[in-house]
Amino acid sequence: MIYLAAAVVFIPIAKKLGLGSVLGYLLAGVVIGPSLMGFIGSEGQDLMHFAEFGVVMMLFLIGIELEPALLWNLRAPILGLGGLQVLLTTAAVACLALLLGQPLNAALALGMILSLSSTAIVLQSLKEKGQLSSAAGQSAFSVLLFQDIAVIPMLAVFPLLAGSSQGGSHSESSLRDNLPAWGQTLMVLGAVVVIVVAGRYLLRPLLRIIAGTRVRELFTAFSLLLVVSISVLMSLVGLSPALGAFLGGVVLANSEYRHELESDIEPFKGLLLGLFFMAVGASIDFRLILSMPWVILGLVVGLMSLKAFILLGLGKIFKIKIEQNLLFAVALSQVGEFAFVLLSFSNQSNILPQSTVSILTAVVAISMAFTPLLLLAYERLIQPRFSVQTTNTREADEIQEKHPIIIAGFGRFGNIVGRFLRVNGVKATILDLDSDRVDALHNLGVKVHYGDASRRDMLEAAGAEDAKVIIVAMDTVEQTLDVVRVVRKHFPHLQMLVKAENIPDTFELMDLGVLHIYRETLDTSLRMGADALQMLGIRAYHAYRNAGTFRKQDEKAMKGLSAIRDDKKLYINTVKERIEELEKLMSGERTTRFNPSGLGWDEQSLIDEARQEE
């Protein structure tokens, strides 16, 4: 209950402050943790195990979204970028540890442990900010994936590092402790094979049977059981359950039940992942930190800088653009949740002493807690600087053409307008803010200029002084409104045709005095509606004309509604009236069965008159 309450209290606050939910959870964990309020404490370790289930589920979901074909497509960044990151970081950390006087096996273990990053925090944060599909997001994903895979060989190698002198004398209950080192390695590989084979040949028929019962709860229960049993199996052989779940997910990615599984597990994942973040927050041991603040802080900063530096270098080699590369480096600079597992594992197998492990646990937790903060700092401080700079360097040399039309924003909407104008022999000067899109269009031979159309000098460079028309089709309302304001202020002679996404956008544009507003989905929706009418047997011409009438009426109504939209009650009443009016109009209650604008074809009055005369 404390956890739920903390989540309910902290998440909205964090969101409001623009911090993202991950940081909210972490903070909640810190506050209710043993160091501050002490609501929770002793059970922290158990809770951590429980909450790790969130990570397990996340990896299962990631796996299920990854079709083997997609994995194959990403093989270059996964193997290259991910492999190099793990290798280089491991080597660098191990060298440092050696210099600090650690024995070779401990140094190697440290290197491997600290080379990992947090899949949970990074993916969740990037997803919330919508950066998962950016170049940085894709690269980060590849690296994380490689790391998650690399945990298998790491776990397999650790017993070898421990040497033969240590063995099954520890408290861990997993089966493999009783085996010699090579046997453990074999067992790990065996478990992976079992999952793949079972997933392929056993699970699908089973899923079919369960789906056949059409009891939804059963399916949910089975999904959970599936993930749980994979985890148990993996723990039994002393492997990372998260990895097992990931593998299970990939195996099931091509199955027809993929989406059901996804939607069934998603809510559990969200909650447990939140719990996990809180547990990380709670596990930060402030007493230990306070006892040696500089050592720990130094370790955190040093470690994160080292990792970021290596990532930055790799990004450069893999030709990631500088601003994306920075994001990539910052995002992955922390140490991940697998480190907790590996740390306790290496403690149990006597590779690392308890004191080192507790210090490092604190370091890992702090570095994880820093990540959302760093991402926030990146977003607020670094990113804006870069977009401005890039604009400057790209705008100056590129715009030499002058056309009567300027298109601001060449996404899916502006794109169609531009193509239409082009086939009609009308050339337009095109500005777009999405550098990836600009590059992609360049490769297609379309001349698009990277630049921010809400800047006066940019518009000037695009020939706004002499142009006649500007089409504003930016990706977001904010950008659209910015462009409209600048055009109104500095280039009032330009006729503006503006794309709006929805009704509130439309109102805002009306407030700014824009006359030509085009709601993105209006025409398509009506075309679909007209087609639906035709499928019901209504004449094509009738459907077509009625769609036109509807559109006209709707746009007219929109103008009236704009004025009264702040008065909620009046607004709702008026909308109701308009809907009724429109229905009356379309059904032709006042006139005939036909659309009122088709009155000329209605013979009824003529027939009546003719019959009277007879």
Partner 1 sequence: MSRILILFAHPAFEKSRVHYQLLATIRGMQGVTVHDLYETYPDLNIDVRQEQGLLLQHDIILFQHPLYWYSAPAMIKQWQDLVLEHGWAYGRTGTALRGKRITNVISAGTKEDAYQPDGWHQHPLTDFLLPYKQTATLCNMQYLAPFVVYGTHQLDATSISEQAISYKQFLETLRDR
For partner 1, the closer of residues 436 and 589 by Cβ is 589
Residue 543 C-beta: closest distance to partner 1, Å: 7
Among the listed ranges 84-92, 222-230, 431-439, 604-612, the one in contact with partner 1 (CB under 8 A) is 604-612
Work out whether 552 is an interface residue with partner 1 (CB under 8 A).
Answer: no
Q: Which of 13, 540, 572, 579 lies at the binding interface for partner 1 (CB under 8 A)?
A: 540
Alpha-carbon dihedral sign for residues 210, 211, 216, 220: positive
* Window 85 to 114, contacts with partner 1 (CB under 8 A): none
Place of tokens 């401080």: 381
Residue 473 C-beta: closest distance to partner 1, Å: 24
For partner 1, the closer of residues 374 and 543 by Cβ is 543
Q: Give the whole-angstrom CA distance, residue 62 versus residue 148.
A: 11
Place of tokens 């028309």: 469
For partner 1, the closer of residues 61 and 585 by Cβ is 585
Q: Give the whole-angstrom CA distance, residue 578 versus residue 568.
A: 15
Q: Which of 447, 545, 551, 578 lies at the binding interface for partner 1 (CB under 8 A)?
A: 545
For partner 1, the closer of residues 67 and 603 by Cβ is 603
Pairing of strands 428-432, 449-450: parallel
For partner 1, the closer of residues 319 and 611 by Cβ is 611
C-alpha distances in Å from residue 470, one per residue of 229, 367, 540: 60, 48, 35
Work out whether 606 is an interface residue with partner 1 (CB under 8 A).
Answer: yes
Phi-psi region of 471 (alpha: psi -120 to 50; beta: other; left: phi over 0): beta
- Residue 219's nearest CA partner among 233, 232, 206 is 206
For partner 1, the closer of residues 41 and 588 by Cβ is 588
Residue 583 C-beta: closest distance to partner 1, Å: 19
Work out whether 319 is an interface residue with partner 1 (CB under 8 A).
Answer: no
- Residue 283's nearest CA partner among 511, 49, 441 is 49
Q: Give the whole-angstrom CA distance, residue 71 versus residue 63.
A: 10
C-alpha distances in Å from residue 236, one per residue of 149, 156, 188, 588: 18, 14, 10, 73
Among the listed ranges 223-231, 400-408, 507-515, 598-606, the one in contact with partner 1 (CB under 8 A) is 598-606
Work out whether 527 is an interface residue with partner 1 (CB under 8 A).
Answer: no
Among the listed ranges 71-79, 89-97, 410-418, 592-600, the one in contact with partner 1 (CB under 8 A) is 592-600
Q: Give the whole-angstrom CA distance, residue 170 versus residue 39.
A: 32
For partner 1, the closer of residues 318 and 544 by Cβ is 544
For partner 1, the closer of residues 13 and 610 by Cβ is 610
Among the listed ranges 118-126, 264-272, 368-376, 603-611, the one in contact with partner 1 (CB under 8 A) is 603-611
Q: Are 1 and 27 a contacting pair, CB within 8 Å?
A: no
Work out whether 614 is an interface residue with partner 1 (CB under 8 A).
Answer: yes
Among the listed ranges 126-134, 150-158, 267-275, 539-547, the one in contact with partner 1 (CB under 8 A) is 539-547
Three-class SS of residue 258? helix
In a 13 Å sphere around the CA of 589, the CA atoms on its Cβ side amount to 6
Paired tokens of 431: 């500005």
Q: Which of 4, 76, 202, 538 lies at the binding interface for partner 1 (CB under 8 A)?
A: 538
In terms of C-beta density within 10 A (0-12 exposed, 13-18 middle, 19 or more buried), how is residue 100 classed? exposed
**What torsion do the CA atoms of 452, 455, 460, 461 make, to the nearest 10 degrees?**
-40
For partner 1, the closer of residues 581 and 603 by Cβ is 603
Q: What residue type is assigned to position 269 of the chain?
A: K
Work out whether 43 is an interface residue with partner 1 (CB under 8 A).
Answer: no
Paired tokens of 144: 């994380």
**Distant-in-sequence contacts of 130-135, Cβ < 8 A, 24+ apart:** 131/327, 134/324, 134/327, 134/436, 135/320, 135/321, 135/324, 135/328, 135/436
Site size for partner 1, by CB under 8 A? 21
Q: Which of 302, 353, 541, 589 lies at the binding interface for partner 1 (CB under 8 A)?
A: 541
Among the listed ranges 93-101, 432-440, 488-496, 586-594, the one in contact with partner 1 (CB under 8 A) is 586-594
Work out whether 593 is an interface residue with partner 1 (CB under 8 A).
Answer: yes
- Helix (DSSP H) and strand (DSSP E) numbers for the chain: 29, 6
Residue 316 C-beta: closest distance to partner 1, Å: 55
Determine the straight-line distance between the first and last CA of the chain, rounded to whole angstroms.
87
Work out whether 420 is an interface residue with partner 1 (CB under 8 A).
Answer: no
For partner 1, the closer of residues 513 and 600 by Cβ is 600
Work out whether 607 is an interface residue with partner 1 (CB under 8 A).
Answer: yes
Work out whether 385 is an interface residue with partner 1 (CB under 8 A).
Answer: no
Work out whether 611 is an interface residue with partner 1 (CB under 8 A).
Answer: yes
Note the Cα 442 to chain centre separation in Å.
Answer: 26
For partner 1, the closer of residues 381 and 535 by Cβ is 535
Q: Which of 39, 50, 491, 594 lies at the binding interface for partner 1 (CB under 8 A)?
A: 594
C-alpha distances in Å from residue 225, one per residue of 207, 218, 263, 420: 12, 10, 15, 54
Query: For the chain, what's the residue count?
Result: 614
Work out whether 601 is an interface residue with partner 1 (CB under 8 A).
Answer: yes
For partner 1, the closer of residues 397 and 614 by Cβ is 614
Work out whether 214 is an interface residue with partner 1 (CB under 8 A).
Answer: no
Place of tokens 């002393």: 238
Work out whether 610 is an interface residue with partner 1 (CB under 8 A).
Answer: yes
Among the listed ranges 144-152, 473-481, 555-563, 591-599, the one in contact with partner 1 (CB under 8 A) is 591-599
Work out whether 592 is an interface residue with partner 1 (CB under 8 A).
Answer: yes
DSSP string, 406-453: EEE--SHHHHHHHHHHHHTT--EEEEES-HHHHHHHHHTT---EE--T
Residue 416 C-beta: closest distance to partner 1, Å: 18
Q: Which of 542, 551, 565, 578 lies at the binding interface for partner 1 (CB under 8 A)?
A: 542
Q: Name the site residues for partner 1 (rule: CB under 8 A).
A: 538-545, 592-594, 598, 600-603, 606-607, 610-611, 614
